[in-house]
Amino acid sequence: MLSSSEALGRLREGNQRFVSGNQNSAALASPARRNKLVVDQKPFAIILGCADSRVPAELVFDQGLGDLFVIRVAGNIVAPSQIGSIEFAAERFGTRLVVVMGHSNCGAVAATLEELDQPSENRSPNLRAIVSRIRPAVQTLLEASPTPDHEALMQQAVRANVRASADHLRHGSELLEGLIQRDRLLIVGAEYSLETGVVEFFDGMP
């Protein structure tokens, strides 16, 4: 199994290929590779990302079948099912790296900012559950700047939400916390740019 630093390097290299248009992921999804993975898998990184259709982790990092254990949910929020999925992969496969990946212009973050600005009585309770998990991370930004620049606020809110999710994973699971303390797991935060295709790692870097 790759170390966390080796896994980070592999993700960076894959993202560079994606940005430059030199992907090789098609070869990594061949019938031969699919057949090889029938019995077992050894993903080298766990990605908790947004469900946004424009941010598929396997393509963004130019990886193939069996390379990434991906959990996608609107707003890359952390709830018990997401924590359990990450615990499963980290313990079962020995995967050493978790990446919480948000992205520019995240709709879930925008919806949370809208809700804080103009609360809605008609929002679905299920949608409200997503907003309520993002709210603490972004509410302080609004309180600090009562009349903020919207674009700058969105950029700050996306990163604040990523940091909050990554921190929740680091401290919201005894299993993950134990792996971190034994240097068997690294949890980092990243942002994908819809405009450039670049993934920037900015939180929890070694």
Query: What is residue 159's predicted lDDT score, i.e. its pLDDT?
Result: 97
pLDDT per residue as tens, the chain (206 positions): 899 999 999 999 999 999 999 998 666 778 888 988 999 999 999 999 999 999 999 999 999 999 999 999 999 999 999 999 999 999 999 999 999 999 999 999 999 998 887 887 777 888 889 999 999 998 888 777 766 688 899 999 999 999 999 999 999 999 999 999 999 999 999 999 999 999 999 999 98
pTM of the model: 0.94
CA distance 178 to 1: 19
Contact 44, 95 (CB under 8 A): yes
The CATH number, out of the four listed (3.40.50.1220, 3.40.720.10, 3.30.56.10, 3.40.1050.10), of the domain defined by the range 4-203: 3.40.1050.10
- Three-state SS letters, 91-158: HHHCCCEEEEEEECCCHHHHHHHHHHHCCCCCCCHHHHHHHHHHHHHHHHHHHHCCCCCHHHHHHHHH
Query: What is residue 150's predicted lDDT score, i.e. its pLDDT?
Result: 82
Contact 65, 41 (CB under 8 A): no
Query: What is residue 108's predicted lDDT score, i.e. its pLDDT?
Result: 95
> What residue spans define the domains of the chain?
4-203
